[in-house]
Amino acid sequence: LNKMVPEVVFVLGAPGAGKGTQCSLISKEYGFVHLSAGDLLREERQRPGSEFGEMIEEKIRNGEIVPVEVTCSLIHKAMQQSGRERFLVDGFPRNKDNLDGWERVMSDKTKLLFILFFECSQELCIERCLGRGAAGSGRSDDNLDSLKKRFNTYLNDTLPIVQHYEQMGLVRKINAESPPEQVFEDVKDVFSDAGM
Ligand code: UP5
Ligand code: MG
């Protein structure tokens, strides 16, 4: 009867803007569960017997977006398995298909608090991802060819989603070009303004 509706913050920003890095800081400080859609997809890709493994790998390498049915059910499952009530959904929704799919299945089951949006120049983002690749990330998309495609998708498909939420007054913009601890200071302001 009085069951709490799970609260969700969507975390968006270009590839390499620092979404994952900031989400781990936030989860430590504020007790949100960090769910990276990309990590969930990479896990599913490795799961023995997954019928989606090859499709996911191909999409990721080409910087394309996996159909929402797959991504959304992984997010939903992870939310249920956590047994918790506050979530950072990192790197989702990335396009109209993602947005519509979430609205269909999840918007009645959750409360969207706001969108945390990390802004960082393309040059810096690419430098960070290439640096991570060179340091042995093992990610099949940390190469210049995939990065160009990831950025195309980001500009064409993801930015319109940010604009959609901006019109609803839900976007909290953060400059993500300074060092992580400094970026996190601005993140904390957003969470404290939200009463956390
Ligand atoms: N770094 C971080 N912050 C820094 C800072 N302030 N100063 C200097 N360096 C900083 O950081 C990236 C690198 O930069 C790291 O080396 C870090 O140390 C350093 P990270 O925190 O990992 O940035 P993040 O924004 O999380 O970058 P990521 O590469 O994870 O972003 P993407 O959005 O590209 O990747 P994601 O895993 O979300 O998606 C990958 C692919 O999965 C997509 O392209 C798509 O094909 C697929 N996907 C879907 O299909 N659907 C989804 O819903 C989600 C993903
Ligand atoms: Mg990430």
**Which residue blocks in 11-94 are alpha helix, DSSP H?**
19-30, 37-46, 53-61, 68-82
Percentage, residues of the chain above pLDDT 90: 98
Q: What is the pTM of this model?
A: 0.98
pLDDT score for 4: 86
Ligand number, closest to the Cα atom of 142: 1
pLDDT class for 2, splitting at 50, 70, 90? Answer: low
Q: Are 37 and 11 in contact (CB under 8 A)?
A: no
3-state class (DSSP) for residue 92: coil
CA–CA separation, 161 vs 158, rounded Å?
5
Is the CB of 91 inside a 6 Å radius of any atom of ligand 1?
yes
Whether the CB-CB separation of 141 and 59 falls below 8 Å is answered with no
Q: What is the pLDDT of residues 140-162, one digit of tens each?
A: 999 999 999 999 999 999 999 99
ipTM for the assembly: 0.99
Domain boundaries, the chain: 7-186
**Which residues are annotated binding-site positions for CMP?**
98
Residue 37 has pLDDT above 60, yes or no: yes
The average pLDDT across 8-33 equals: 98
Report whether pLDDT(3) > 90.
no
Compute φ and ψ for 83, nearest 5 degrees: 65, 15
Instruction: Please work out whether the CB of residue 71 comes within 6 Å of at least one atom of ligand 1.
Output: yes
55: left (phi over 0), alpha (psi -120 to 50) or beta: alpha
pLDDT band, very low/low/confident/very high, at 1 (cuts 50, 70, 90): low
Mean pLDDT for the stretch of residues 104-111: 97
Look at residue 78 and tell me whether its pLDDT is greater than 80: yes
| Distance from Cα 54 to the centre of ligand 2, integer Å | 20
Q: What's the pLDDT score for residue 86?
A: 98
Does residue 187 surpass a pLDDT of 90?
Answer: yes
Best residue for ligand 1 mutational test, from 11, 19, 21 (most atoms within 8 Å of Cβ) = 21
Q: Which residues are part of a known binding site?
A: 16-21, 42, 64-66, 91-94, 98, 132, 139, 150, 178
Q: Give 130-143 pLDDT, tens digit per residue.
A: 999 999 999 999 99
For residue 116, which ligand has an atom nearest its CA? 1
Q: Which CATH superfamily is domain 7-186 in?
A: P-loop containing nucleotide triphosphate hydrolases (3.40.50.300)
User: Which residues is 195 bridged to in the sheet?
Assistant: none
For ligand 2, a single-atom ion, which residues have Cβ within 5 Å?
A: 19-20
Query: For position 58, what pLDDT does the model report?
Result: 98
